[in-house]
Chain A
Amino acid sequence: MAVDKEKWIVDPLTPWQETTPGGLIPTGGNAKYYITGGWRANHPVFDTEKCKDCRLCFPVCPDSSILIDKETNKMSGIDYEHCKGCGICANTCPFGALTMEEGGQP
């Protein structure tokens, strides 16, 4: 019920006196604090063995939830905090390294 003015996260049901005019978001890059993983009905599962690291999954993911290891520069997994379970990655993967399984949580 408050406003974090560093990250500009306005909690639900924040008093009107503290909220921003018209819901303005007065900063950038804070969408990551909005955990959308709970929206999932089905979840993708990543099979390291089958992955050829073509990284076709990366550009098609609408939620930037394909994780790339910064050191190896290889696909390393899925950001389940933000993945909404749309299944586009599984549909795109030419090697079956990404598959959808029932249920929101892995």
Chain B
Amino acid sequence: MGKRDKLSGNEAVAIAMRQINPGVVAAFPITPSTEVPQYFASFVNDGLVDTEFIPVESEHSAMSASIAASAAGVRTMTATSSNGLSYMYEMLYIASMSRTPVILNCVNRTVSGPLNIHCDHGDSMGARDSGWIQVYSETNQEAYDNLIIGTKVAEDPSVMLPFMNCYDGFITSHSVENIELIDDSDVKKFVGEYEPAHALLKNTCAFGPFDSQLYYYEHKRHQAEGMKNAKAAIIKYSKEFEKITGRKYNLFEEYKLDDAEIALVIIGSSAGTAKFVANRLRDKGIKAGVLKIRAFRPFPFDEIGAVLKNLKAIAVMDKCTSLNDAGGPLFLEVRSALFDQPLHPHTVNYLYGLGGRDVKAGDLESVYMDLIKIIETGETGNVHRYLGLVE
């Protein structure tokens, strides 16, 4: 049986890392992810893990060391946020192309500038096409659970791609919530040993050779297949995880969507607020629902389209601005997913919570009210909307 506790998101994630006991952790501190390697370093110091902890001099080095350690054949983890992730950029692509299943805890924070340390999804969304699996958490419990499940997903032989465990900076990383920890032995049993088919310390091999015009395209296609397979792997390991914890996960969470007419599609901690509001509206007889994204990479394109097609109006919530005059990343993909469906609900995009701007129940309720208005008038109106912007 698990143990009830009250922990911040970063503490919970660091505990999951202790339970997994990776071969190497290489990290450089940046708010709000700093606590993850900080707590973990104390576990190293106290002899609770066998991990080689590398306090590197930069995030670029953190990712470089992680790739090398993973290629050497050990389970490897790191953590970062915001500009730290930006500084890893070059190496993010190397990690995914080399098929090294590095685990990165990305504690979501706005990317400068202007300088801001608070939460939005601009950092990890910027890396959405780098070939990393990306899973987002609503709660501390999910951040903890997703790290454990994600380790198995990344290392699945049909996948072999790095995994980004994304959760909201401060809101999730620093707020203390009730949480149920899995027994150490059960976590160890669940993740097992990392046994890659090829590893520098196991057999003679070479990672990352020069790839000419006659090879690169096929290697990229091979990588794309790994990302495609990640979808089935997420479902598979989530089911295995459910057997030991009772906690049920899928590619996304459908909250009261069965009979819903209006819904928000949303990522991260604000999904909790959205569910609260949906319940309040349900009490008034309004058929409101929430689709919470869990896996953003791979993107559940067909699955999301199928689930949303029967709604009347949808608000896709982006906590990240693309500055492209076309819409946020979640919006563009969700609306594109609906295109292949026989029915096309009114679909609008809201930017919200940028730079840590607070998003309250009333704010999200106003979005549902806007959707009702769209249905009543039959007019989609302005597709690109700002929630909580002072103007």
Kindly identify which residue among A15, A16, A24, A29 contacts B207, using a CB–CB cutoff of 8 Å: A24
- What B residues does A27 contact at CB under 8 A? 203-205
**At the interface with chain B, which of A6-14, A74-82, A87-95?**
A6-14
Contact with A along B172-205 (1 / 0, CB 8 A): 0000000000000000000000000010000111
- What A residues does B226 contact at CB under 8 A? 21
Q: Is A26 an interface residue (CB 8 A)?
A: yes
**At the interface with chain A, which of B108-116, B208-216, B378-386?**
B208-216
Kindly identify which residue among B212, B214, B222 contacts A21, using a CB–CB cutoff of 8 Å: B222
List A12-46 residues whose CB lies under 8 Å from chain B.
12-17, 19, 21-29
- What A residues does B225 contact at CB under 8 A? 16
The contact size tier of chain A is 10 to 19
How far apart sit A25 and B207, CA to CA, in the bound complex (Å)? Answer: 7
How far apart sit A52 and B215, CA to CA, in the bound complex (Å)? Answer: 45
Q: Would A25 and B205 be within 8 Å (CB), given that A12-B214, A13-B214 are in contact?
A: yes
Q: Is B219 an interface residue (CB 8 A)?
A: yes
- What A residues does B209 contact at CB under 8 A? 23, 25
- What A residues does B212 contact at CB under 8 A? 12
How far apart sit A17 and B219, CA to CA, in the bound complex (Å)? Answer: 9
What count of chain B residues pass the 8 Å CB interface test?
24
How far apart sit A86 and B209, CA to CA, in the bound complex (Å)? Answer: 22
Q: Is the CB of B218 within 8 A of A14?
A: yes
How far apart sit A19 and B215, CA to CA, in the bound complex (Å)? Answer: 9
List A53-104 residues whose CB lies under 8 Å from chain B.
none
Q: Is B99 an interface residue (CB 8 A)?
A: yes
- What A residues does B217 contact at CB under 8 A? 16
Contact with A along B120-140 (1 / 0, CB 8 A): 000000000000000000000
Q: Would A12 and B207 be within 8 Å (CB), given that A21-B160, A22-B97 are in contact?
A: no
- What B residues does A17 contact at CB under 8 A? 222
18 A-B residue pairs with CB within 8 Å: A10-B215, A12-B212, A13-B214, A13-B218, A14-B215, A14-B218, A16-B221, A21-B160, A22-B219, A23-B219, A24-B99, A24-B205, A24-B207, A25-B209, A26-B198, A26-B203, A27-B204, A28-B204
5 extra interface residue pairs, beta carbon distance < 8 Å, beyond A12-B215, A29-B204: A12-B212, A22-B208, A23-B208, A25-B205, A27-B203
Q: Which residues of A contact B (CB under 8 A)?
A: 10, 12-17, 19, 21-29
